[in-house]
Amino acid sequence: MEGFRGKIIYDLDDDMLDAEGLAKRTGRNERDLIETTSRIIAFINLADLITVSTPALLDRVHELSPRGELVLLENCLDAELWQLNSSPRANARNKTDSDPIRIGYIGTPTHDQDLEIVVEAIQRIERDFGKKIEVEVIGAFEGKEPMFGRKIPLPEKNAYPDFVNWLIKKVNWDIGIIPLRDDVFNRSKSYLKFLEYSALRLAIICSDVDTYRPVGRHRENALMVANDTESWYKALREMIVDRQLRERLASEAHRMVCERYTITANIDRYYKLLDRILAK
């Protein structure tokens, strides 16, 4: 259509502007990553609307003085994709006291440094409980022996909707762990993993860091713990032996996501934002 100019909306969910931080986590050459960050800056400068998922990212992008509108738009889940309104999985409902307690982690190879926080604690737990527990790790320890537990191979189809469908079928855990180092790069991360674990009805043990404090409530919907071996060990042990605690925390986290952190629950905000940008 002659004279029509579309609008460019650019979304940022990690500090992809931190080439040094990315290099440390990915093992890639920092010079190559600087080229990537330059392209991201170019997109930011072209965009009519830039959305970011955390206050730290908002400050980071604001420093670039983008010409477009900059908005904090926190992550939410697609309720239909995550099957939030479905009943608990049959394998979870039919669990008996004689079944092992299953502990799991979902991440990427860039999180190996975060997993180092819990290595000694989980190794102690594995020695203490033996076959009474099982530990599984999805996505981390790529190309290397796991520091604990066993690796679950990733599916061939890794587009997000396919991955979510695979997780819903594959994950049969009682406890989900979210260790995260408190460093500059991680302070820009969103709390998406907490929402995803909540959607999977896991009892969550999470690092007590700024990234997860907006959603994590200690002893209400998770155990929020300090990043030291003893704190993680005690939290893991308590969660393993106390079934009522696990069920209560998992239920409350799932309720929170369903009520507050879905696209549907925030749909008016999306529409108003789009209307405002399109009207300019």
- Rounded to an integer, what distance in angstroms lies between the CA atom of residue 167 and that of residue 78? 14
* pLDDT score recorded for residue 8: 92
Q: What is the percent of the chain with per-residue pLDDT over 90, rounded to a whole number?
A: 70
Residue 184: φ, ψ to 5°: -60, -45
What is the tens place of the pLDDT at every residue in 82-107?
Answer: 999 887 754 455 667 788 999 999 98
Instruction: Please provide the DSSP assignment of the chain as one string.
Output: -TT-----EEEE-S-TT-HHHHHHHH---HHHHHHHHHHHHHHHHH-SEEEESSHHHHHHHHTT--SSEEEE----B-TTTTTTTSPPPHHHHT--TTSPEEEEEE--GGGHHHHGGGHHHHHHHHHHHGGGEEEEEES-STTS--SSSEEEPPPS--SHHHHHHHHHHH---SEEEE----STTGGG--SHHHHHHHHTTPEEEEE-STTTTTT--BTTTBEEE-SSHHHHHHHHHHHHH-HHHHHHHHHHHHHHHHHHSBTGGGHHHHHHHHHHHHH-
* pLDDT score recorded for residue 94: 62
Residue 53: φ, ψ to 5°: -100, -10
Contact 236, 135 (CB under 8 A): no
The mean pLDDT of 168-176, rounded to a whole number, is 95
The mean pLDDT of 21-27, rounded to a whole number, is 65
* pLDDT score recorded for residue 4: 47
- Rounded to an integer, what distance in angstroms lies between the CA atom of residue 229 and that of residue 86? 36
What the chain holds in terms of domains, given with CATH numbers, is 9-76+263-279 (no CATH), 90-260 (3.40.50.2000)
Q: Which residues contact 160 (CB under 8 A, 6 or more apart)?
A: none
pTM score of the predicted model: 0.91
Contact 104, 136 (CB under 8 A): yes
Q: Which residues contact 169 (CB under 8 A, 6 or more apart)?
A: none
Contact 225, 219 (CB under 8 A): no
Q: Which residue reads 């959607």 in tokens?
A: 199
Amino acid found at 262: T
What is the tens place of the pLDDT at every residue in 223-234?
Answer: 999 999 999 999
Mean pLDDT, the chain, rounded, equals 90
Contact 240, 125 (CB under 8 A): yes
Read off the pLDDT band of 110 (50, 70, 90): low
* 204 token code pair: 């969550």
Residue 47: φ, ψ to 5°: -70, 145
